[in-house]
Structure 1
């Protein structure tokens, strides 16, 4: 009875109390920081190789250690959030990032540097998971819009971090990482203004959770004890599995374009600098796309945004196989792919309300996609003599991603029972 009514009447209060303005601004600043930290490893590689006497492949282990730590940070963050207030997860994650960044800046040998990056990654994963889930739950109907704005700030950091290091010189990476550590500490006090955003229906009753306890004034179970939007456990597991596949494919495509676009464009006769500039344009288009979709998502359902984005991504990747259109098509791919990650989390939260553990697995899966797909795509491209294989293979993956998105929608529809007379007011 109350699910839709509560969403309509209480939501504005939740939006203002869960994230006061200073906490929302601090959350965006935290995402600028994690975007910058993730993007700094690549530009720092020349200096790392000189300082530690390592090969390019060994230097690349920094990113692997970062994502391994982030994977642990996501799963540990989900466990911590089930037992402790939201602000504690944010505090611990920021401190892990600060300690890891300082340790990396002062590392005297490569094993210590990798350990520092792993610690930094744990904090990164906790912030990435925590703020994404808190925004999805804490802003109600504006959750999709706010998630896109939050993740757009990640893109701003990913652009600003390498630009700063490029201006200062790669050898100054210790100072940049130390500065990021200071910023991680400074962002903590306003972040701690956040209030718990997890559903307040009772801390531990588990799967059937949610709205029923809050609507039963006496100790007796209400006549309709199953919440109107309850999803059978098996269907929830299938739905989560579909979302995990969607995220693995989507992030694989994103990293595939970012990593292999320069190779494709150079093979078409573009200069190295032009290819690098076009690749920077791809990441910039992703950032702009998230800001652009924020107002749209206030009026369009998350499912529609995700499916339209997947379809557009496929179309632009096919256009990238046409040589004269390739540089512009990749910009289109950046715009199309932009809303999928944040809007997909809002869609998952809509289909499985209060799905913090589901979001943890989905975000963790996205990191696995980022680790696994670049070398797999590289092996596939190396076995093909035709450079056109790059956009065409990515387009094929995108078509599969679109089909999985359609399946997510179908599973979601089957999971939602026919509303009873008390819940037919919206939707």
Structure 2
């Protein structure tokens, strides 16, 4: 019976990460269709996405409390249920307002799911934690990779002689969350019986220097990870004058090495140690990124290889939190991910600001082309620098833990 329950929990975790990846990455092909159907401006699309990020961040902030109060089963059901419901609302949305409200609900579900899956994985993966955390995030990377392809195919398909379109595509894709929802109804969840007196008080938790160092490590790591998707193609087009198809292939290569890394390098994190792994992998990613910029066009392949280094950072950090705070993983993960979300928003804003700053400086001196290339190089260098700062902060964490004889 215990073995059966364990396998059901694995399906919920792995299936949850698949659904998570799909829900976050089907918007790429859908947004232009939404924009055309509702005659939306770029500002309205930007506002839609900004409000969704706010919804996700908001959900991350309160999910730890919900989990502590009502249990991880409740949080999991809330996440999967709200995402399925959002799919229905998106399907029937007939205006920008109703679409915005539906999207906001979906991202609330995404935020709850991100924390719930992290907490559940922390409680389930008590052995080979690094490997299993990286494996679960591999499923997120896998669904993220194929999501745009599936979304495009579905939107172009027909049902009863009519195009499924983006309305139907969202309904179908978000309905997948009902599968782990149903399984969760009949599964026993671990850790919900932890007594309050066994937990670390929140005031005591935030006094732990390790908690704050982990926030900084994850923030730098996630900035470096997410910035690639937003800026690599732009960088290659405006610095090396690649066409969009060639640049997109290199971005795909980055995501391929990123996804395979979580599958293949996960077991190494358990052998090397979680903090040492953070130091090594993020340091390698940062050096590869900066080397790619320094070498120039012939070194562009290094940007793709950098994906292998940055990929294990998030899941390995979750593994560290699971081992360091076994009875307080809900508090630790919710606290860390919420502050990381704020940090990553600031970091991505900085990338754009650095590009503009250096572009203006060099344009005034050398002209538009050199100004743009210089700005993009400066901005993308910040992506590599963030990976190096992630590594350096992990060194500080290692020294802090070693002084206390608490290295994990």
Contact 1:90 1:192 in 2 (8 A): no
1:395 equivalent in alignment to 2:406: no
User: Offset at 1:79?
Assistant: 0.9
Q: Tell me, in whole angstroms, the C-alpha distance in 1 between the residues paired with 2:254 and 2:151.
A: 20
- Cross-structure match for 1:104: 90
- Cross-structure match for 1:253: 224
Q: Tell me, in whole angstroms, the C-alpha distance in 2 between the residues paired with 1:172 and 1:398.
A: 39
Q: 2:243 aligns with which of 253, 256, 271?
A: 271
Flag the 1:312–1:90 CA change in 2: closer, same or farther, 3 A.
same
Residues 121-142 of structure 1: CA deviation (Å, up to 9, x unaligned): 1111111111112212222122
1:188 equivalent in alignment to 2:181: yes
- Cross-structure match for 1:217: none
Q: 2:348 aligns with which of 350, 374, 398?
A: 374
Q: Tell me, in whole angstroms, the C-alpha distance in 2 between the residues paired with 1:302 and 1:194.
A: 30
Contact 2:71 2:192 in 1 (8 A): no
Flag the 1:102–1:82 CA change in 2: closer, same or farther, 3 A.
same
Contact 2:122 2:326 in 1 (8 A): no
User: Offset at 1:339?
Assistant: 0.5
- Cross-structure match for 2:209: 238
User: Offset at 1:199?
Assistant: 7.8
Q: 2:73 aligns with which of 69, 74, 87?
A: 87
Stretches of structure 1 that go unaligned for 5 or more consecutive residues are 1-12, 210-231, 419-426
Contact 1:256 1:374 in 2 (8 A): yes
- Cross-structure match for 2:30: 44
Greater shift, 90-99 or 41-50, is seen at 41-50
1:141 equivalent in alignment to 2:141: no
1:344 equivalent in alignment to 2:317: yes
SS at match of 1:165: helix
User: Offset at 1:336?
Assistant: 0.6
Residues 249-308 of structure 1: CA deviation (Å, up to 9, x unaligned): 111111211111112211213211111111122222211111112332343321122111
SS at match of 2:271: coil
Equivalent pairs, count: 383
User: Offset at 1:194?
Assistant: 4.3
User: Offset at 1:334?
Assistant: 0.9
- Cross-structure match for 1:213: none
Q: Tell me, in whole angstroms, the C-alpha distance in 1 between the residues paired with 2:155 and 2:182.
A: 32
- Cross-structure match for 1:292: 264
Residues 131-162 of structure 1: CA deviation (Å, up to 9, x unaligned): 11221222212222111111111111111211
SS at match of 1:148: helix
Contact 1:320 1:391 in 2 (8 A): no
Flag the 1:173–1:367 CA change in 2: closer, same or farther, 3 A.
farther
Q: Tell me, in whole angstroms, the C-alpha distance in 2 between the residues paired with 1:34 and 1:129.
A: 11
SS at match of 1:141: coil
Contact 1:136 1:144 in 2 (8 A): no
Q: Tell me, in whole angstroms, the C-alpha distance in 2 between the residues paired with 1:397 and 1:84.
A: 37
Stretches of structure 2 that go unaligned for 5 or more consecutive residues are 157-163, 359-370
Q: Tell me, in whole angstroms, the C-alpha distance in 2 between the residues paired with 1:417 and 1:331.
A: 35
Q: 2:104 aligns with which of 112, 118, 131?
A: 118
Flag the 1:43–1:376 CA change in 2: closer, same or farther, 3 A.
farther
User: Offset at 1:348?
Assistant: 2.3
The RMSD of aligned alpha carbons is 2.5
User: Offset at 1:176?
Assistant: 1.6
Where do residues 310-325 of structure 1 align in structure 2 (5 Å cutoff)?
A: 310-321=282-293, 322-325=295-298
Q: TM-score, normalised by structure 2?
A: 0.86
- Cross-structure match for 1:10: none
Q: 2:169 aligns with which of 172, 176, 194?
A: 176
- Cross-structure match for 1:6: none
User: Offset at 1:73?
Assistant: 2.0
User: Offset at 1:361?
Assistant: 1.4
- Cross-structure match for 1:9: none
1:158 equivalent in alignment to 2:144: yes
Contact 2:87 2:171 in 1 (8 A): yes
User: Offset at 1:235?
Assistant: 7.6
Q: 2:233 aligns with which of 249, 255, 262?
A: 262
Residues 308-363 of structure 1: CA deviation (Å, up to 9, x unaligned): 11111111111220223443111111111110001111112323333321211111
User: Offset at 1:391?
Assistant: 3.2
Contact 1:94 1:127 in 2 (8 A): yes
User: Offset at 1:120?
Assistant: 0.9
Greater shift, 366-375 or 376-385, is seen at 366-375
Q: TM-score, normalised by structure 1?
A: 0.83
Contact 1:135 1:147 in 2 (8 A): yes
Contact 1:86 1:195 in 2 (8 A): no
